[in-house]
Amino acid sequence: METQDHLKPLSFELDNDDALKPLSFEFKNDAPEDFVPIAKTISNDLKNKESNFVFFFGTAESGKSVILSSMLYYLRSYAGVLRPKLGTPNSKEANVLLSDFFENIRQGILPNRTTRDQVTRLDLVFEPNNKSKKVVPIDLTFLETSGENHNDIRRGGSYHSSIETFLNANIPLTFIIVTSFESAYKDDSLINEFLDELERKGKNLKSVNAILVISKWDKSGRMDVESAEELDNFISERLPMTSQRINTYGLSKTYYTIGSLQNATGQEKIDLLNLSTAEVLSKWLYRSIIGYDLDYEGTFWERLKFSFTS
């Protein structure tokens, strides 16, 4: 697992021309026009298992959709090519959601809330712009669910069948556990109930791929943390039980912000977009799955070759 030092956001300047560059998407004409929710099927009957699944956990308004949309925007605009994976049941849905995510974030509009009792599944292919053969294309399937559904597991409750399908299936799963700066103290117990649920489903937390994300860090008055200790202290104070699980099992942790927000009309909009934490989380995700950094410089022979071709 990565240490916090590696998760500290990197600063980079956004080029206005590149940030506003139009995004184009190819629509698959023969794809179904309507999204079909997952049926109540046996967990082992899950189709299209050949991917790396990313499951977002978090209560309502914790920032899951904002994190997902900004990660996708970073991957698509700065790290390589991100496109829907052909042959999946909802490739048309993926196109529509991607288009909405990207158009909205460029206009400063925050994503809509996720529909209850439905898993929003995005089957994507990410092709990094790194030339090294070690930095390979990767299939990513992002799973996002309504925060209300996560409350269902309180006090021994159970998830909706659409969520159970993924948690029970034998697939590679990465968990992004989200809680916000303002409401973290309320989520400590529920996060631990979720981790208990994973244990009951046979997932060993010592080897599970997971990260805790403290969203809306801008509410602290800063866009970053002064040191790793500041984040550690926040987690141990507001999330004492979760802090013990993280330290015991060596899970990763970081913070997140979408940037500066304004609330002039009663609705929050992005005033200044900050993608530094989207970059950090995206790079953590890729490295945790592939084992190489997105900005890996290549082998000696690759670096020699790049020096002649650049």
For residue 158, the SS3 value is coil
Residue 168 contacts residue 198 (beta carbons within 8 Å): no
Percent of the chain with pLDDT over 70: 71
Residue 175 contacts residue 167 (beta carbons within 8 Å): no
DSSP structure string for 67-83: HHHHHHHHIIIIIEEEE
**Predicted TM-score (pTM) of this structure:** 0.78
Query: Taken in order 183, 176, 292, 252, is the CA torsion positive or negative?
Result: positive
Residue 201: pLDDT band with limits 50, 70, 90: confident
Tens-place pLDDT, residues 25-58: 343 444 445 444 433 333 345 566 789 999 998 8
Average pLDDT over residues 56-69: 88
Tens-place pLDDT, residues 89-142: 665 666 777 788 888 888 888 876 666 656 778 899 999 999 899 999 999 999
Tens-place pLDDT, residues 278-294: 999 999 999 999 999 99
pLDDT value at position 26?
Answer: 41
User: Could you tell me the CATH number of the domain that includes residue 269?
Assistant: 3.40.50.300
> How many domains does the chain divide into?
1
The Cα-based distances of 185 to 73, 133, 239 in angstroms read 30, 44, 6
Say whether pLDDT at 244 is over 90: yes
- Nearest Cα neighbor of 33 from 83, 87, 92 is 92
Tens-place pLDDT, residues 145-193: 776 666 666 766 666 677 888 888 888 999 999 999 999 999 999 999 9
- Strands (DSSP E) contained in the chain are 52-57, 80-84, 120-128, 138-144, 173-180, 209-215, 252-255, 259-262, 269-273
pLDDT value at position 160?
Answer: 67
The pair of structure tokens assigned to 194 is 């979720």
Give residue 185's domain range.
4-309
The pair of structure tokens assigned to 238 is 């507001």
- Nearest Cα neighbor of 171 from 55, 59, 56 is 55
